[in-house]
Structures are given as C-alpha cells and as structure tokens.
Structure 1
C-alpha cells in the first residue's frame, strides 16, 4: 500500500453524454487491486440533474482494465457500492478519470446482503440510447461477476477487507 495525496477530477457520464457526477477526490495510492481515491463527507458533486454534497466519506477503487468501479463507504452509507461502467480511462497525467455509467449497480449495505439496483434503468437505456451488443454483454457479465464477488461470505478481495486501510485514511 503506497499512499499519495494528489487531486483527481472524477467525471462520470451516462451513455448519452449527460453528466451523471463530477467531483474532486484525493488520489490516496494504489495496490494490487488498482488505484484508490478518497472523498470526504460533504464533498461537492455536480451533475446535469443538480448538485449535492457527499453524504458520507468513501473511497473509490479504480481497477485496471475492468468494467466496474467500486465505492466503499463509511457507515451509514452502503459498505460496498459497485458501478458497472465502461473501463475507466485516465488522462495523460492521471489528474482526470472518465467513465460511462451503464446503470447497473451491485450494492452491499453494512450488515446486509448483496443486491443489484437499476436493472430496469439498464433495460430502458439499452433501448433508448442504443447500447451496442458488446456493451450489453460486458455489463451483464460484469454485474454477474460482481454479484458473486461482493457477497459477504465469499471472502473475495478487495470486497472483504482490502478497502479498510484506505477508508481509514479519510473516514
């Protein structure tokens, strides 16, 4: 676990280009799972549907070349919240992270069981925005894999405990 503290602009868009969320996070460091970003409670977020402040501190794991990004939140937020998305892309100098949210979310509340959110939104947007078959296939395969990996009793990292030292840096 190597630590840093550079700022990263995170920009999440929907498939039609709408801004789903934009905020500044601290680049905490990286490990074998990917790059870890930290966002304190109250951090401002901007989107096309309005602005808000982060309700709780969280760290984001940006894995290498994967169709997902995971947030690990301080209570009372969800323990694990995985966005199924296009492969996140870094700007040349690593100061901007961009990805397209594909609607499906795999969530594990603190003390609860894993579940998938927004399957109806995925089905609707697939038609409305014309998701290519390859995007649909990657999204569904990723969602199925995450659903198994995020289960509390599976012990799969980074979803079991690898996030805890990173979250402790900002919570």
Structure 2
C-alpha cells in the first residue's frame, strides 16, 4: 500500500499546459507536479479545474476538454523534450483509459508547457481496445500544408510507438499512471481555476 501524504502536506508546484491546434486555436489548463522520473513529469489535475480556450470560454471539464459531462480527476505525463507525445490517464469511471496526443513541444520553460497538436491520437479503452483516432484530420492537415514532411513522419512514428506500447501495456503505460492518479486523488488538492488566457503565454 503506497504512502498517502498527510492532509496538511504542502501543495506541489503548479504548471500550466497549453495545447495549440494546427489551425491556431489554443486551450490551457493547469496541473500539480506530483512525480518526476525517467519517463518525464507526472501532472495531476483535480476534478472541477478550469479549461480556458482562446475564444474566451472557460469550463470545469479539463479532462474531457469541453465535453458534455463534468470533468473528473486526470493525470498527464509530459515526456522528455525530444519525444513527440503527451499521455493522459482517466479515472475508472471513464470508458477511455489512456489517451495520447501526438505533438511537438513548442515551449517548455518556467512553469509553462506548450505543445502543438499533430492530430493523431492513440488510445486505450477500459475494454482493452487500442487504436488511433483522427487519421482523417491528420490527412487533411497534411493536404492543407499545415504539417511539413519531417513533422508528418515524426508524428506517424510517435503514433506507431505509442500504439505498440499501449497494446503491450509497456512502460510508461504499465500501471504506474493509474497508481499515481489514485494517490494524487486522495491528497485533497484544490481545483485549479485561475488559468491564464492562452494567448498570454
């Protein structure tokens, strides 16, 4: 049984994540740094935290990015800079278990982490199904000239790598994220609601 930090344990460092779409829109949310290891930085966002879009809208559904249901706890793994992906873990109430955003890191300094979404989204469902979403959007982005050949090849390689490891449940998709998400959820960390505007970062 892992040790759970006491209720008066100081709140960990807060980082701001900003997702850029190829078309130019952005969205930001914040997360607590709860662990760091060879796989990267593990960031926890409590239920009720805010997601702020570049069109000025704000909601409390970070983990579903503006979906129809209330946002729940979620965990993100930010890998080393040279890797072209970001992964997020959902709580057991969600059918979606692990989602991967294939991306390029455009800013990683101070407490701001900004990435450009390259459309490809490998995933693992609770049922065990593994796949890659948004292949059509990726093809459209290439056709529109929003991704050059080098970036497109890097995106395909990152998607294939992520999909293989999800199928094998290989690290970092081997259970560590679920454990950290559960532990962080029991710390009683406050929702993060004072999110800066995406274009201020």
TM-score between the two structures when normalised by the length of structure 2: 0.75
Task: Provide the residue aligned with 2:41 in structure 1.
Answer: 35
Q: Report the count of equivalent residues.
A: 164
| CA offset digits 1:124-149 (Å, max 9, x no partner) | 12222431100100001111111111
User: Aligned ranges for residues 9-158 of structure 1 at < 5 Å?
Assistant: 9-19=16-26, 21-48=27-54, 50-54=57-61, 55-64=71-80, 65-77=82-94, 78-87=96-105, 89-91=107-109, 93=110, 95-151=111-167, 154-158=168-172
Task: Provide the residue aligned with 1:7 in structure 2.
Answer: 14
Q: Which runs of 5+ in 2 are unaligned?
A: 6-10, 62-70, 186-201
Q: CA deviation at 1:96?
A: 0.5
Task: Provide the residue aligned with 1:167 in structure 2.
Answer: 181
Q: Per the alignment, do residues 88 and 62 of structure 1 end up closer, same or farther by CA in structure 2, a change over 3 Å counting?
A: farther
Measured in 1, the distance between the counterparts of 2:113 and 2:127 equals 31
Give the number of the structure whose residues are more often strand, by fraction.
1
| CA offset digits 1:36-55 (Å, max 9, x no partner) | 11011121101236433232
Contact 1:71 1:80 in 2 (8 A): yes
Q: Which runs of 5+ in 1 are unaligned?
A: none
Measured in 2, the distance between the counterparts of 1:6 and 1:133 equals 37
What is the RMSD computed on CA atoms of the aligned residues?
1.8
Contact 1:16 1:129 in 2 (8 A): no
Contact 1:87 1:99 in 2 (8 A): yes
| CA offset digits 1:80-134 (Å, max 9, x no partner) | 100000136411x2x1101001111011111331111111111112222431100
Q: 1 or 2 for the larger relative contact order (CA 8 Å, sep ≥6)?
A: 2
Contact 1:56 1:75 in 2 (8 A): no
